[in-house]
């Protein structure tokens, strides 16, 4: 009996799953996930990503088993796996979601397309987000996003599963998700990270829609309030435990049900939906120009930082030893939880890019392994935007001392993640190197011993970095190349369509420089 093959990638759910729903309309389905050795050898892969995928696949597998099916876990490069499956039991068509991933997945998908052509197999790819493949004109993008989000959710319904014969199952090496083994070389699985699976995604969404979203506006900037005020859906969206369309539609439905006086709740959900729009806007940049994973979006900035990379500074940043308490506390939280709110992420990149003058690519590879919600399109676009190499965005420099004063005024966050500073008085908590030596001795916190000295003098190093960037920005060749970046990547979002006030609309830039970012 022939069948439809459904390939799960970063779409680990069974609801609003276009590939599964369309395959089911064509006949019996067979579901697979492929553990790709080369994919997990990429520098942006981490053990936490693998474990989150495994947990999510277990939840998916449990649901499909209730209907008489399962998710087969194969190991190998995808083209090789397809050849083995084809040899044992040919399938009619291949179904999957589109993926805007890293350079490896881009090349791998080209190989899969070649395999399908060679074998005469139709490969149907379905949009995962509001991202348009082969987009011809950015002016058309917003309308396409709205159309995708307004479409009815894909109803999977009752599934008919392909049943393997005895000979097939005896020759093919197939695992269940519960038996997946992480590659031995993978590292970093934060003990306090979120766990995978659709049920956890839905419970997180419901708690946000009904209660936590009331604190979204005003609560997402501080690392103290952000863990609750943010939706915490970013990992579930990145790995596809829940669909973007589901989240948008449920958020809009919740707004429609709110009473007239629920201004704070409505404002929070409206701001959240705007972030979902920007989520896809940034992924579209990588979809339209895959090279921005490696190269400056504006090539006029090539060579700005690449040849001056300071490895000891980078090592200190990764090990939470910069000497700036807010920076080191954020790195520690990220290491332990796999998550950090956007403003603190932007601050980390800013500190790396300006006072430490580190090129964004190595920093981005490290941060990709640290973020459980690593989404390549958002990640590399934001690394470049915060580093000033897009050529179209306002220079953003986050002072880690001011950020601490604004968002952790009593030093609670810093003390939580840097216990060595517990006894440092509030006056010195964000600049402990300024403490009188006698006070350092009395508190048992001697700068240079218990805690490090700052790597550089912050004010002068930042000023010098900005001067270097602005000199490059004023070059005639850099100015000349700006318009092409705007044409290809800048947003055309009409802010008035999202019920924002005239005052807020005026603050938003029509060229995509509005500050939105990594998480939701």
**For position 172, what pLDDT does the model report?**
64
Assess whether pLDDT exceeds 60 at residue 497. no
54-92 residue pLDDT tens? 999 999 999 999 999 999 999 999 999 999 999 999 999
Average pLDDT of the segment spanning 176-198:
97
User: For residues 216 and 230, is the Cβ–Cβ distance under 8 A?
Assistant: yes
Better-scored residue on pLDDT, 487 or 294:
294
Residue 302: C-alpha distances to residues 305, 382, 442, 469 (Å): 8, 17, 49, 11
**For position 170, what pLDDT does the model report?**
46
**DSSP characters over 221-256:** SSTTTHHHHS---HHHHHTTSS-HHHHHHHHHHHHH
**For position 494, what pLDDT does the model report?**
61
Distance CA 15, CA 152 (A): 12
Average pLDDT of the segment spanning 98-116:
98
**For position 411, what pLDDT does the model report?**
98
Instruction: Work out the pLDDT band at 394, boundaries 50, 70, 90.
Output: confident
Instruction: Work out the pLDDT band at 513, boundaries 50, 70, 90.
Output: very low
25-52 residue pLDDT tens? 999 999 999 999 999 999 999 999 999 9
The mean-pLDDT minimum among 114-128, 188-202, 211-225, 390-404 falls in: 390-404
Q: Which residues of 184-216 are buried (b: 16+ CB within 10 A; e: fewer)?
A: eebeebbeebbebbbebbbebbeebbeebbbbb
329-363 residue pLDDT tens? 999 999 999 999 999 999 999 999 999 999 999 99
**For position 30, what pLDDT does the model report?**
98
User: For residues 33 and 6, is the Cβ–Cβ distance under 8 A?
Assistant: no
Dihedral sign from CA coordinates of 372, 376, 382, 383: positive
**For position 1, what pLDDT does the model report?**
72
**For position 393, what pLDDT does the model report?**
86
Assess whether pLDDT exceeds 90 at residue 512. no
Distance CA 81, CA 97 (A): 18
312-328 residue pLDDT tens? 999 999 999 999 999 99
Model pTM score? 0.93
Alpha helices in 371-436 (DSSP H): 376-387, 400-407, 412-417
418-430 residue pLDDT tens? 999 999 999 999 9
Assigned token pair, 468: 């270097």
293-315 residue pLDDT tens? 999 999 999 999 999 999 999 99
Better-scored residue on pLDDT, 393 or 214:
214
Assess whether pLDDT exceeds 90 at residue 404. yes
Assess whether pLDDT exceeds 50 at residue 405. yes
Assess whether pLDDT exceeds 80 at residue 509. no
Residue 427: C-alpha distances to residues 409, 431, 435 (Å): 10, 8, 9
Alpha helices in 474-519 (DSSP H): 476-489, 502-507
| Average pLDDT of the residues of the chain | 93
């Amino acid at each position: 009996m022939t069948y439809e093959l459904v390939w799960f990638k970063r779409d680990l759910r069974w609801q609003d799953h276009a590939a599964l729903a369309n395959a089911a309309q064509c006949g019996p389905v067979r579901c697979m996930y492929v553990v790709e050795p080369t994919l997990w050898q990429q520098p942006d892969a981490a053990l936490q990503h693998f474990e989150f995928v495994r947990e999510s696949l277990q939840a998916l597998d449990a649901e499909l088993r209730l209907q008489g099916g399962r998710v087969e876990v194969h190991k190998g490069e995808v083209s090789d796996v397809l050849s083995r499956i084809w040899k044992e039991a040919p399938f009619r068509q291949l179904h999957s979601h589109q993926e805007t991933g890293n350079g490896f997945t881009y090349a791998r998908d080209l190989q899969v397309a070649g395999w399908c052509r060679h074998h005469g197999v139709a490969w149907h790819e379905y949009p995962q987000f509001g991202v348009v493949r082969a987009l011809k004109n950015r002016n058309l993008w917003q309308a396409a996003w709205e159309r995708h989000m307004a479409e009815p959710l894909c109803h999977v319904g009752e599934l008919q599963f392909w049943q393997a014969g005895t000979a097939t199952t005896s020759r093919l090496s197939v695992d269940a998700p519960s038996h997946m083994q992480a590659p031995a070389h993978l590292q970093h699985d934060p003990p306090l990270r979120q766990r995978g699976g659709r049920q956890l995604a839905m419970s997180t969404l419901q708690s946000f829609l009904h209660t936590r979203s009331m604190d979204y506006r005003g609560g997402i900037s501080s690392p103290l309030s952000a863990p609750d005020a943010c939706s915490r859906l970013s990992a579930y969206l990145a790995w596809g435990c829940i669909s973007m369309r589901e989240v948008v539609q449920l958020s809009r439905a919740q707004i429609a049900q709110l009473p007239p006086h629920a201004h704070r709740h409505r404002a929070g959900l409206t701001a959240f939906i705007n972030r979902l729009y920007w989520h896809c806007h940034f992924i579209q940049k990588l979809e339209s120009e895959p090279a921005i994973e490696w190269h400056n979006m504006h090539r006029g900035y090539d060579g700005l930082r690449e040849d001056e990379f300071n490895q000891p500074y980078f090592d200190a940043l990764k090990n939470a030893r910069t000497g700036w308490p807010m920076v080191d506390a954020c790195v520690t939280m990220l290491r332990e939880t796999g998550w950090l709110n956007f403003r603190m992420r932007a601050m980390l990149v800013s500190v790396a890019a300006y006072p430490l003058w580190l090129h964004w690519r190595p920093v981005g590879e490290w941060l990709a392994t640290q973020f459980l919600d690593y989404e390549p399109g958002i990640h590399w676009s934001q690394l470049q935007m915060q580093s000033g190499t897009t050529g179209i965005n306002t220079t953003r420099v986050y002072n880690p001392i001011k950020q601490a004063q604004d968002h952790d005024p009593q030093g609670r966050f810093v003390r939580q993640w840097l216990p060595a500073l517990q006894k440092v008085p509030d006056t010195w908590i964000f600049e402990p190197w300024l403490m009188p030596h006698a006070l350092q001795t009395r508190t048992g916190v001697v700068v240079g011993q218990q805690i490090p000295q700052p790597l550089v003098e912050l004010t002068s190093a930042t000023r010098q970095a900005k001067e270097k960037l602005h000199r490059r920005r004023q070059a005639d060749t850099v100015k000349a190349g700006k318009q092409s970046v705007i044409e290809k990547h800048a947003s055309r979002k009409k802010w008035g369509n999202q019920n924002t006030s005239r005052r807020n609309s005026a603050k938003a830039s029509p060229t995509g420089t509005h500050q939105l970012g990594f998480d939701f």
